Amino acid sequence: MKKRHWLYLPLIIFFIGFFYTTLIYNGIWFKFTEGLGSLSIIGYFLWLIFAFYFTLTLHELGHFIAFHFQGVKLRAIYLTIFVFYKDEKRWHFTIKPKLWVLFGGLVVPDLGEIADEDAYQTLNHRFSNSLIIAPIVTISVLIVSILTFLLVLILGSNTHLLGIITINTIYIVLLSTLYIYTFKLSNPMFYGDFVAYKKMKSDPIFQLAQLTQYTMFSLRDSDKTIRFLWDKSRDIVSKEPLSSSIFYIMVVTNYLDGILKMDYEIDPLIDDKLKKMNLSSLCRTEQGLSLAYDLCFYEYKNKNPEQAYQKFELIQRRANQKLDKKMLTYLRNKSAHIMHLEDHEAFLKDKENLYIGNAWIFEALIKPHEMLEAYHKKLPYVEYSCPVVFKDDEEQKSDLD
């Protein structure tokens, strides 16, 4: 039997009419309209800004407080252009107008040392909790705002106060509804809180990628953390099937960083797996292109310069030219320099040539350009040659005979 949703329409119209008639009969509708009329146009705009920052701040404080009460240290809380951040001594405040592009907020934890599996799982659990608490705070604020509005509407007598409560409730309902909608959204670059919470609970690749990237914000570097997360990356890359997802790319990148920067041992099983990665597919995205060049470095360090140079040439032909031109030039020149193909020392010393991507967002916490400099060091030189046999005249004559 087909569902006839149109049958609900008369009921909806009836309840709207009943509610409206009740408001008029009890004089509440007059209080409601008179209260809204008491506000100026500028007042509507100012209260919109207040409602936006009110809902955003409470949401981000949900993340912040959840981390704090679970014993996880904090590095920063972003509220659009306003940034509160901590260094080794104390908290600071700054305003960065460029951060308007975020049109939202962000909380950055200091994960501390992750030396073993127990610490890793505990941190993963705490991270998951912080993801789900903030949406709960947003939903709670929505409910409390509606209840407060109804109480003031029924019991209040101050017309102007009623207008303020009304317009703020409207804004809070609309903004909170938008937030709740985004909690369920996801794409290759963005995961809403609900989606991220589920993935932190069930997806080992997503878990590792998230925790690994946040370690860059720790105030103290830990060799134990670096080694443990590298071992974790090695285990996942060896077990999980090849993928072009951004989080798989992040895990593989962490594995290669350990080999290229820390001289960790090469896993033979993963070595065979990496040779099967599709460079053409990687060259379509920013993260994939960076990994493709890392695979060149991996071959070069593994004393396979021919394969490294072949991969390098393939990347030049397959790199997506729609990607950021500055990034394409930077990665190309950096890679040629690292593998002794060309000398780009002057190019790499000029900060204007370096591509930091979205890392500028975290300039209050890290120094992106200085971090990149660690990746500009040339790999140990590997000779690329083939034997050439010279024959004397008698040998050449013998060959001709």
Residues 29 and 85 in one domain: yes
Question: Any residues with CB less than 8 A from the CB of 338 and at least 6 apart, and which?
Answer: 297, 300, 376, 377, 378, 379
Residue 51 has pLDDT above 90, yes or no: yes
Residues 160 and 90 in one domain: yes
Q: What is the mean pLDDT of residues 302-326?
A: 94
Residues 106 and 21 in one domain: yes
Q: For residue 30, what are its two tokens? A: 């007059």
Whether residue 188 lies inside any domain: the answer is no
Residues 122 and 74 in one domain: yes
Q: In whole angstroms, give the CA distance from residue 282 to residue 267.
A: 22
| Per-residue model confidence (pLDDT) at position 397 | 55
Residues 106 and 249 in one domain: no
Average pLDDT, the chain: 89
Q: In whole angstroms, give the CA distance from residue 70 to residue 133.
A: 12
Out of 183, 202, 235, a domain closes at: 183
Q: What is the mean pLDDT of residues 310-333?
A: 95
Picking from 259, 10, 222, the residue whose alpha carbon sits closest to that of residue 114 is 222
Residues 172 and 242 in one domain: no
Whether residue 191 lies inside any domain: the answer is no
Residues 175 and 252 in one domain: no
Q: In whole angstroms, give the CA distance from residue 52 to residue 399.
A: 87
pLDDT single digits (tens) 240-251: 998 888 999 999
| Per-residue model confidence (pLDDT) at position 386 | 66
- 3-state class (DSSP) for residue 267: coil
Whether residue 123 lies inside any domain: the answer is yes
Residues 137 and 78 in one domain: yes
Q: In whole angstroms, give the CA distance from residue 141 to residue 154.
A: 20
Q: For residue 43, what are its two tokens? A: 């007042």
pLDDT single digits (tens) 263-294: 999 999 999 999 989 999 999 999 999 999 99
Domain range holding 42?
17-183
Whether residue 237 lies inside any domain: the answer is yes
CA atoms within 13 A on the CB side of 250: 17
Q: For residue 16, what are its two tokens? A: 């709207």
Q: In whole angstroms, give the CA distance from residue 243 to residue 249.
A: 8
Distances (CA, A) of 208 to 226, 277, 358: 12, 20, 20
Helices (H) and strands (E) in the chain, counts: 17, 6
Question: Any residues with CB less than 8 A from the CB of 285 and at least 6 apart, and which?
Answer: 244, 246, 320, 323
> Do residues 354 and 330 touch, judged by C-beta distance below 8 A?
yes
pLDDT single digits (tens) 329-380: 999 999 999 999 999 999 999 999 999 998 999 999 999 999 998 899 999 9
Taking only Cα atoms into account, the Rg of the chain, rounded to an integer number of angstroms, comes to: 29
CA dihedral for 24, 27, 30, 35, sign (positive or negative): negative
| Per-residue model confidence (pLDDT) at position 1 | 43
Task: Quote the number of domains for the chain.
Answer: 2
| Per-residue model confidence (pLDDT) at position 3 | 54
Q: pLDDT exceeding 70 applies to what percent of the chain?
A: 89
Residues 222 and 169 in one domain: no
| Per-residue model confidence (pLDDT) at position 390 | 59
Out of 158, 183, 208, a domain closes at: 183
Whether residue 10 lies inside any domain: the answer is no
Q: To 10 degrees, what angle do helices 305-318 and 286-301 make?
A: 160
Residues 249 and 151 in one domain: no
Whether residue 390 lies inside any domain: the answer is no
DSSP symbols for 78-143: EETTEEEEE-SS-EEEEE-GGGGGG-SEEEEEE-----SHHHHHHHHHHHHHHHHHHHHHHHHHHH
Residues 326, 321, 260, CA angle at the centre, nearest 5°?
Answer: 60
β partners of residue 86:
91
Residues 168 and 240 in one domain: no
Residue 401 has pLDDT above 60, yes or no: no
Confidence class for position 23, pLDDT limits 50, 70, 90: low
Residue 399 has pLDDT above 60, yes or no: no
Whether residue 398 lies inside any domain: the answer is no
- 3-state class (DSSP) for residue 231: helix
Confidence class for position 10, pLDDT limits 50, 70, 90: confident
| Per-residue model confidence (pLDDT) at position 97 | 92
Q: Kind and range of the H or E element at 110?
A: strand 105-110
| Per-residue model confidence (pLDDT) at position 298 | 96
Picking from 112, 301, 102, the residue whose alpha carbon sits closest to that of residue 211 is 112
Q: In whole angstroms, give the CA distance from residue 224 to residue 253.
A: 18
Q: pLDDT exceeding 90 applies to what percent of the chain?
A: 71
Q: In whole angstroms, give the CA distance from residue 216 to residue 356.
A: 14
* Beta strands at 73-79 and 82-86: parallel, antiparallel or unpaired: antiparallel
Residues 22 and 139 in one domain: yes
Picking from 104, 142, 110, the residue whose alpha carbon sits closest to that of residue 123 is 110
Q: What is the mean pLDDT of residues 219-240?
A: 94
Whether residue 389 lies inside any domain: the answer is no
